[in-house]
Amino acid sequence: MPLSTVSFQPLIASSKHLAQRLLTIGENRLELLAVEMQEERERLRHAILLAFGVAVFALLASLTFTAAIVVGLWHWAPLAVLLILATLYTLAGVYLCRRLTKLMDDWQTLAASLDQLRKDRACLEKCLA
């Protein structure tokens, strides 16, 4: 009776190859995540600086415009002019606050990384099934 020898070498090699591929995929995804985090940080910093500049110059412009309107209409009805301008500014502030709230609700951080991880999981599940 011949003795059959079972070799586990192909199984071991295949397991090592799979482990190496999984580590490479994980490394690539972490690099993508790091790049996206850097991009998000830079974009946020840039947006904050731009928003600050917009706010400063919008405030200066609105103060100047308000002063011009009040001075121009002071003899007609000073209290009415001030109340109308205050109402307009309040409505503009409420509108912008609602827009900001909607923007924050729809914010998606690291969307590309999460999408890629979902694709990797689906591919891995397909391969293992």
Q: Return the structure tokens found at 102.
A: 């909607």
DSSP 7: -
Q: Does position 1 have pLDDT exceeding 60, yes or no? A: no
Between the alpha carbon of residue 8 and those of residues 1, 3, 4, 12, 16, the distances in Å are 22, 16, 13, 6, 12
% of the chain at pLDDT higher than 90: 11
For the chain, which residues make up each domain, given as ranges?
13-128
Return the H-helix or E-strand segment holding 6. Answer: none
Please give the C-alpha separations between residue 9 and each of 19, 32, 128, in angstroms, as whole numbers.
Answer: 15, 34, 21
Q: Which residue stretches of the chain are H helix?
A: 9-72, 78-105, 111-128
Q: What is residue 2's predicted lDDT score, i.e. its pLDDT?
A: 57
Q: What digits encode the pLDDT tens for the residues 12-29?
A: 888 888 888 888 888 888
Q: Evaluate if residue 128 carries a pLDDT over 80.
A: no
How far, in Å, are 8, 28, 45, 125 from residue 12 at the CA level? 6, 24, 49, 21
Per-residue tokens: 113: 């990384």
Q: What's the confidence (pLDDT) of residue 91? A: 92
The residue assigned the tokens 């995540």 is 33
- pTM of the entire predicted model: 0.49
Tokens (6 digits) for 30: 């972490």
pLDDT digits (tens, 9 = 90+) for 109-121: 777 777 877 887 7
